[in-house]
Structure 1
């Protein structure tokens, strides 16, 4: 615990962002897609029907309804789990933290993508310092490198990972998607080397063209702990996430959860989902984010001819490399010009690895702001190009 308290808290690196700044750092839903009026109607409907009940510790019976709704959506995506294999959490971060809490100790090893989701990296470092970085390329996690590392550790008698943490679809921060062959390879390696797979699927339903099977849907041996969330497709402030996995792990996570399930938020979400054609909502989201992504990549082609980036097939993010740049230094100048991004170093365990990289989000700003933001960023980046 004392060692964990020496780690920087989440977001410690973030400088003050001016109010008028074009926010290309924000991994938030588009404001126009957040259903504030529908949520307001759901709150009113819930309180009219149940009065004070959802505001008590015991909460509303609609909490059970929310479980049923999410389980139904998972089943439609090929993930068939029972109630004992499923737990609603306060967002994906609580799910990841609970998994780390029950599976890790100071000697445990975790395999992570490099780069990876910065909050997950921060969580794991609270429990263990033994993280193995596996590189990501345009096709997602490089599973051949993972296999080489596992084989070498086994031959040398070294400990193997307790689990692999991966974001197979529209990865944060790179936006890349793991191929079907690599997904199958991950599961084969998990079986061969006896480790679990924590699959973070926060962006999995935000595909631009075709959908991709989740690792959990492909899992035949209960190796995968599937972490999901409504934060990116409904509203992050509602804090609705989940874990789907082996019943004994779910039971242990539930034992340590101790938050009384946030009954009001869960009941409101259940009412909202019950009165929403969510599949149609998803079509609108995918269309919006596809269009925004196209605007961003077109602007990059215009203003960053010497840089390189991955073109995502879904999600929120574009990952860019500016050769020779120090993107933390670049951010200072970018903020002065009124545009923000996240320097790449914060997504790596070895931060020196990421100095030439940055993450851009196309989800939050509108299309006009995206183009103007990239123009401003291109202006300040000329010193490196």
Structure 2
């Protein structure tokens, strides 16, 4: 019997993509009872399981089999209208043909990369950045440029220096710049309005698009920052959003907002890769939910949890450790000079506490050796405080 040579059937671009680290390689195997400061998930108590149960029952009572067919419920168009309304309340006015519902934000990012990138295309990303976006982009191109961030977000003046140099030397300019301007993953930082405007100016001057990942944009502890898409007058911004952080990630409801010609192309390749039942269930849920009241609850809860995490860090972590204090979102970004956080992780897991090592958020993983990401969204306050106490002891031991 001659065994099939599976790899010989793969396309060349797939062979290249499969040389990358597998998706999710950054996620540690957690021991039982581990305090999960690694999990960028909603607080379990804030996932509206009962309300969604009621929504599903109402949907099936009213529509019987319709939501279970390929075309799904007549409520699906209503979901798009509901998301249009939410965007409009944040200053983003899009027509029906300028909005595509996706299966989560990740499908939106992948569709954009699939349509806009090839092995000749260049993409610029923040450094550090969302590791799953890096995984997606590396499936389509190896030509990725990192632009550093600081406490005010993407350093747009550094971006301009790169663009100037590439233009001067005749090198390919980026097809788009990927940014998480609001409560960034992993750093929790927020881009200033001055830099948002500068980024838009650069996109016009150097003819590139902006992929704005707005996954955490409504989770401010105070006033929500202005989305870049809301001040885009030239159609340069493709905004990706999601209900994962404000309702439930397992529902897989996301979107892309952009110019209609882009949306047509993305829809061409998305085809019917939808979840009609989830979309119609979400529509019913939103029909019967005071969403502003829900957002207030989310903001209050995460503000309190973030404060508890920061206070415990001030109490238990050595003085040499530093971090950004976020104004919203899920994460705190930590630097521990002289400690390789990847090596420290095995000890932390043995002590029953997890985090994500910083290296996974960088194109050059060596740049992240001294960093780690903590999440205050999932664990409860008592668990977080205990987790930071254990982590502080490990860090102090490593430094000594």
TM-score range, shorter chain: over 0.9
CA contact (8 A) 2:26 2:356 kept: no
Q: Which residue of 2 aligns with 1:132?
A: 145
- Which stretches in structure 2 are left out of the alignment for 5+ residues? 1-13
Query: Is 2:102 the counterpart of 1:110?
Result: no
Q: 2:33 aligns with which of 20, 29, 35?
A: 20
Q: CA deviation at 1:373?
A: 0.5
CA contact (8 A) 1:57 1:260 kept: no
Describe how 1:99-178 pairs up with structure 2 within 5 A. Answer: 99-178=112-191
Query: Is 2:61 the counterpart of 1:53?
Result: no
Q: CA deviation at 1:260?
A: 4.3
Q: 1:84 aligns with which of 86, 93, 97?
A: 97
Describe how 1:28-67 pairs up with structure 2 within 5 A. Answer: 28-67=41-80
TM-score (normalised: structure 2): 0.95
Distance 2:223 2:61 in 1: 41
**For residues 190-212 of structure 1, what are the alpha-carbon distances to aligned partners after superposition, in whole Å with 9 as ceiling and x for unaligned?**
00000000000000000001221
TM-score (normalised: structure 1): 0.99
Q: CA deviation at 1:381?
A: 1.1
- Which stretches in structure 1 are left out of the alignment for 5+ residues? none
Q: 2:371 aligns with which of 354, 357, 371?
A: 357
Over 6 Å off, 4+ runs: none
Q: Which residue of 2 aligns with 1:369?
A: 383
- In the alignment of these two chains, the number of paired residues is 385
Q: Which residue of 1 aligns with 2:392?
A: 378
Distance 1:126 1:260 in 2: 19
Q: CA deviation at 1:117?
A: 0.2
Describe how 1:195-210 pairs up with structure 2 within 5 A. Answer: 195-210=208-223
Q: Which residue of 1 aligns with 2:281?
A: 268
Distance 1:303 1:130 in 2: 41
Distance 2:273 2:389 in 1: 48
RMSD in angstroms over aligned alpha carbons? Answer: 0.7
Q: Which residue of 1 aligns with 2:358?
A: 344
Question: What SS does the aligned partner of 1:320 have?
Answer: strand
Distance 1:321 1:101 in 2: 34
